[in-house]
Structure 1
Amino acid sequence: MNHNWVIVFIAALFEIFWVIGLKHADSILEWGGTILAIIVSFYGLIIAGRGIPVGTVYAVFVGLGTAGTTAADILFFGEPFKLEKVLLILLLLVGVIGLKLVTDEKSPEGVES
């Protein structure tokens, strides 16, 4: 696996943290963690975009972030489980996996992978 994809997955994980932080942060420490997660998330997005087409990076980033945030809401914050929502998130993830499978992973000239 191209290391840029690993960076996309890590950036998406931090996206989940900052989205949760925007909704639930109440203290200076929590807001600090939220801001740090935003910085790490978008920095990872920028770095991964140097080796993978930006549109694909963004689509995967947002898809994984949406799926992760929805799962966290259901598992940790009492959001009601709705089969329709879960099926649509799974459809989104199928699209994300499809994008990964059809994306050319060759780095542009002058960029190290």
Structure 2
Amino acid sequence: MNHYWAKLLAGAFFEVIWVIGLKHASNVSTWLITVVAIFLSFYLLIISTQKLPVGTAYAVFAGLGTAGTVIAEFLFFGEPFDLVKMAFISLLLIGIVGLKLVTEEQGDK
């Protein structure tokens, strides 16, 4: 995996952090973490589009962020496990892997 895909994955990770932060931040330090995560997630998304197509990068970014947020709710915040929800998250992840497999890097801009 090249470093542009790695940056995109890191950006999606920080997206999960800030989405959770928007719901659960309750003091200055948690709001600061949320704001930093927002900055990092979009910065990494923008950097990854230097070599990856914008549409593919954004679809992967949003899909992984969505899947990660739902999974984090199950694991850390007591959201009840829903088999149907997990089936759709699995379908989303299959689509993301498919996009990765069929996407070629763009040349230098």
Fold match, TM over 0.5? Answer: yes
2:74: which partner in 1?
74
Q: How many residues align?
A: 109
Q: TM-score, normalised by structure 1?
A: 0.94
Kindly state the Cα deviation for residue 99 of structure 1 after the two structures are TM-superposed. Answer: 0.2
Consecutive unaligned residues in structure 2, runs of 5 or more? none
Q: Deviations over 1:73-101 (max 9, x none)?
A: 01100101100000000000000000000
- Tell me the residue number matched to 1:38: 38
Q: Does the residue aligned with 2:15 lie in a helix, a strand or coil?
A: helix
Identity %: 57
- What is the root-mean-square deviation in Å for CA atoms of aligned residues? 0.8
Segments ≥4 residues shifted beyond 4 Å: none
Structure 1 residues 24-55: Cα deviation after superposition (integer angstroms, max 9, x where no partner): 00001100000000000000000001110000
Letter of the 1:49 partner, please give it.
Answer: T
CA–CA distance in structure 2, aligned partners of residues 89 and 82 of structure 1: 11
Match of 2:89 in 1: 89
Supply the distance in 1 between the matched residues of 2:101 and 2:2 (Cα, whole angstroms): 12
Structure 1: segments with no counterpart, 5+ residues: none
